[in-house]
């Protein structure tokens, strides 16, 4: 049996391999969504099951659960046909994916003629075709309107690059140079990971490292079962809503019933809405991955591997919008998984409010601006934006934070202004946007962007325009999302509240985004008077709201 010191050393060394792969891609990617926002992830996965063994600390947590399905898809399709030097590429959102923008590379790692494990990389590419530049198409009715779909295919065959596959992929992007740079960044990350893993195995031996991986998984499962066993048995429920599907202006329910029985749980999403026409459907693997992220927020000390989900069973009907199959559109998956995390937090507040948070702002507000420069070159600005996090048992929510589905950072305005013909005329905290409570919700933000080029087309894919973030344990709701755009000197709002396509802007016209704040935690009348006064003094809360 492996000793504790060796296990700790190997845990750190394995995590370092994944961290170095993350860093390699972040430093070499061409598009700012990866290079600046870190919308990517790397890890090591089981040779036969595809289960997550290790993930880098800088990558997106949402990819931990999803990537295990992706690696399993490669194993199921190619199995014994995989050869040393093979690398597989795909972005199929129904086969272990999320949405078409996330390209996955899977590399079987061989030792002595057999697969020891798999290395995998995933990154959000800037543009992969489809009707909308940047690929967040709020009115898509099938995946073909969202971008190109590549099933698992060999990118490298026994170490030889298949240039024809690369040519097909690049021909379907508005920004082939960006895609080519991101692809090579991911290849380099896998090369480094393979080198570092080989060095580790040579130093400690294959059997010792394999035993450590198995032990780390077992410890994660054991720790999660202990956490569950400490909770009271019973069934606990929560629900929330998406604004609409981009076609029909009617809310969509995301409902969760958690049943605790000893050291196991069942998570039942059967009461959620059926599949819809628009792109807020998500695949089964994506639903499971978002549940994993929510659990890691609640139990952060549990190691990040497949053992986390071992004591949990999921019920997700095949008719549900949380179990979509091709060709249902899934491009707006981020909005739906954020709502899943919200209902998990709300359900756990019913179980024990001392271990959970209020809802965060609940939308990435995907904004795309696209046009041509005066010399004819195409430009596509795609970005996401921050908001307030929910109040929690220990204190107020974070102001202007990143979405809780990930560690992705909000792209700096200097980078966006340098890369695209836009100017940020405002970037500020949004007063009164955090939900009231014993611990206030974090503040959302106000962004105002002016177009500097002759013209551009504007697209918006957001949420929380109609259903603001909920508080827990008696806390108040955060402010709802608000979006406006200028045309001919007049400000307009999207008719669907949070989704819009193809609005033409001219030079000097602006867009204005006011993002939600987080929900509050605990009754507002229990807030410390000194904290309330400080909120007013700092401008977080207006005097009127403070009263």
Domain count within the chain? 2
| Residue 500: domain span | 357-547
pLDDT at residue 499 in the model: 96
In-domain check, residue 294: no
Q: Which helix (H) or strand (E) holds 373?
A: none
CB 332 within 8 A of CB 384: no
pLDDT at residue 37 in the model: 85
Contacting residues for 266 by C-beta, under 8 A, at least 6 apart: 258, 259, 312, 313, 314, 315
**Phi, psi (5° rounding) for residue 447?**
-120, 135
Please choose, from the candidates 60, 59, 134, the residue with its C-alpha nearest in 3D space to the C-alpha of residue 100: 134
Residues 89 and 167: their CA atoms lie apart, in Å, by: 13
- What 3-state class would DSSP assign to 252? strand
The last residue of a domain, from among 221, 236, 263:
221
| For residues 506-510, average pLDDT | 98
pLDDT in tens, 173-195: 999 999 999 999 999 999 999 99
* Angle in degrees, CA 408, 413, 416, rounded to 5: 85
Cα–Cα distances (Å) from 329 to 62, 137, 282, 368, 370, in that order, read 19, 9, 8, 18, 22
In-domain check, residue 435: yes
Please choose, from the candidates 363, 428, 366, the residue with its C-alpha nearest in 3D space to the C-alpha of residue 400: 428
Express as a percent the part of the chain with pLDDT over 90: 90
- What 3-state class would DSSP assign to 335? helix
| Six token digits for residue 352 | 């024990």
For residue 120, how many other CB atoms are within 10 A of its CB? 31
pLDDT at residue 234 in the model: 98
232 pLDDT band, cuts 50/70/90, is: very high
- What 3-state class would DSSP assign to 399? coil
| For residues 220-230, average pLDDT | 96
| For residues 512-522, average pLDDT | 98
What angle in degrees, to the nearest 10, is found between the helix axes of 284-298 and 333-351? Answer: 40
Q: Give the strand order in the sheet containing 52-55.
A: 52-55, 40-46, 114-124, 102-111, 87-90, 153-157, 160-161
In-domain check, residue 350: no
| Six token digits for residue 225 | 């079962």
pLDDT at residue 80 in the model: 84
Average pLDDT, the chain: 95
pLDDT at 503 over 70: yes
Lowest mean pLDDT among 9-23, 53-67, 359-373, 480-494: 53-67
CB 297 within 8 A of CB 62: no
Radius of gyration over every alpha carbon of the chain, rounded to an integer in angstroms? 23
In-domain check, residue 345: no
Lowest mean pLDDT among 93-102, 312-321, 328-337: 93-102
Burial label for 79, CB within 10 Å (0-12, 13-18, 19+), is: exposed
In-domain check, residue 488: yes
Contacting residues for 427 by C-beta, under 8 A, at least 6 apart: 413, 445, 446, 447, 448
**Phi, psi (5° rounding) for residue 475?**
-80, 160
Please choose, from the candidates 356, 339, 462, the residue with its C-alpha nearest in 3D space to the C-alpha of residue 405: 339
| For residues 384-407, average pLDDT | 91
In-domain check, residue 410: yes
In-domain check, residue 105: yes
Residue with tokens 């591997």: 305
CB 22 within 8 A of CB 56: yes
pLDDT at residue 544 in the model: 79
In terms of phi and psi (left: phi > 0; alpha: psi -120 to 50; beta: otherwise), the region of 170 is alpha
pLDDT at 332 over 80: yes
Residues 29 and 21: their CA atoms lie apart, in Å, by: 12
The last residue of a domain, from among 167, 195, 221:
221
What is the number of residues in the chain? 547
56 pLDDT band, cuts 50/70/90, is: confident
| For residues 70-84, average pLDDT | 94
Lowest mean pLDDT among 61-70, 321-330, 512-521: 61-70
CB 457 within 8 A of CB 502: yes
| Six token digits for residue 327 | 């060709």
Report the chain's terminal Cα–Cα distance, integer Å: 63
Residues 147 and 150: their CA atoms lie apart, in Å, by: 10
pLDDT at residue 409 in the model: 76
For residue 157, how many other CB atoms are within 10 A of its CB? 15
| For residues 18-45, average pLDDT | 94
CB 436 within 8 A of CB 524: yes
For residue 100, how many other CB atoms are within 10 A of its CB? 26
Residues 450 and 15: their CA atoms lie apart, in Å, by: 42
In-domain check, residue 293: no
pLDDT at 545 over 80: no
pLDDT at residue 40 in the model: 92
pLDDT in tens, 453-499: 999 999 999 999 999 999 999 999 999 999 999 999 999 999 999 99
pLDDT at residue 408 in the model: 64
Residues 476 and 42: their CA atoms lie apart, in Å, by: 38
The last residue of a domain, from among 205, 221, 237:
221
pLDDT at 120 over 70: yes
Q: How many CA atoms lie within 13 A of 490 on its CB side?
A: 3
Express as a percent the part of the chain with pLDDT over 70: 99
pLDDT in tens, 271-320: 999 999 999 999 999 999 999 999 989 999 888 888 999 999 999 999 99
**Would the pTM of this model clear 0.85, i.e. be above it?**
yes
Residues 511 and 498: their CA atoms lie apart, in Å, by: 13
pLDDT in tens, 427-459: 999 999 999 999 999 999 999 999 999 999 999
CB 321 within 8 A of CB 252: yes
Q: Give the strand order in the sheet containing 499-506.
A: 378-383, 366-372, 455-461, 499-506
406 pLDDT band, cuts 50/70/90, is: low
pLDDT at residue 403 in the model: 86
pLDDT at residue 404 in the model: 82
pLDDT at residue 407 in the model: 58
């Amino acid at each position: 049996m492996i000793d504790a010191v060796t296990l700790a050393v190997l845990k750190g060394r394995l995590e370092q391999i994944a961290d170095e792969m993350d860093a390699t891609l972040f430093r070499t990617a061409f598009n700012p969504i990866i290079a600046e926002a870190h919308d990517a992830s790397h890890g090591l996965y089981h040779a036969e099951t595809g289960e997550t063994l290790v993930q880098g600390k800088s990558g997106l947590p949402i990819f931990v659960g999803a990537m295990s399905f992706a690696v399993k898809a490669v194993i199921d399709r190619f199995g014994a046909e995989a050869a040393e030097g093979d690398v597989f590429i795909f972005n199929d959102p129904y086969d272990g994916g999320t949405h078409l923008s996330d390209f996955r590379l899977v590399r079987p790692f061989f030792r002595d003629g057999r697969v020891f494990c798999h290395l995998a990389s995933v990154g959000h590419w800037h543009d992969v075709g489809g009707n909308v530049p940047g690929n967040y198409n709020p009115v898509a009715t099938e995946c073909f309107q969202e971008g190109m779909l590549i099933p698992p295919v060999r990118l490298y065959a026994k170490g030889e690059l298949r240039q024809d596959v690369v040519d097909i992929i690049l021909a379907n992007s508005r920004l082939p140079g960006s895609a080519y740079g991101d692809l090579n960044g991911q290849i380099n990350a896998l090369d480094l990971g393979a080198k570092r893993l080989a060095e580790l195995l040579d130093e400690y031996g294959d059997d010792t490292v394999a035993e450590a991986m198995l032990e780390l998984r077992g410890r994660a499962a054991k720790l999660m079962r202990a956490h569950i066993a400490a909770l009271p048995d019973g069934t606990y429920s929560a629900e929330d809503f998406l604004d609409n599907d981009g076609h029909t202006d009617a809310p969509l329910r995301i409902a969760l019933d958690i049943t605790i029985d000893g050291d196991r749980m069942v998570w039942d999403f059967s009461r959620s809405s059926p599949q819809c026409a628009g792109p807020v459907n998500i695949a089964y693997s994506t639903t499971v991955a978002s549940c994993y992220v929510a659990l890691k927020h609640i139990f952060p000390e549990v190691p990040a591997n497949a053992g986390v989900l071992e004591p949990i069973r999921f019920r997700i009907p095949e008719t549900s919008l949380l179990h979509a199959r091709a060709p249902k559109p899934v491009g707006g998956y981020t909005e739906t998984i954020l709502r899943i995390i919200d209902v998990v937090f709300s359900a756990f507040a019913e179980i024990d409010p001392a271990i959970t948070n209020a809802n965060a702002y609940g939308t990435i507000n995907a904004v795309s601006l696209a046009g041509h420069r005066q010399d004819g070159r195409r430009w596509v600005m795609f970005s996401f934006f921050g908001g307030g996090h929910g109040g929690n048992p220990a204190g107020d929510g974070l102001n202007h934070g990143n979405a809780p589905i990930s560690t992705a950072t909000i792209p700096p305005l200097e980078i966006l202004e340098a890369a695209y013909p836009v100017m940020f005329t405002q970037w500020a905290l949004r007063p009164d946007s955090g939900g009231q409570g014993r611990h206030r919700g974090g503040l959302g933000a106000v962004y105002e962007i002016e177009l500097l080029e002759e013209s551009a087309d504007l697209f918006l894919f957001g949420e929380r325009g109609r259903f603001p973030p909920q508080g827990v344990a008696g806390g108040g709701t955060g402010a709802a999302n608000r979006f406006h755009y200028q045309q001919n000197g007049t400000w307009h709002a999207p008719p669907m509240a949070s989704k819009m396509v193809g609005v033409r802007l001219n030079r000097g016209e602006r867009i204005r985004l006011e993002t939600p704040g987080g929900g509050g935690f605990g009754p507002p009348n229990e807030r410390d008077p000194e904290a309330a006064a400080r909120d007013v003094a700092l401008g977080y809360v207006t005097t009127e709201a403070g009263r």
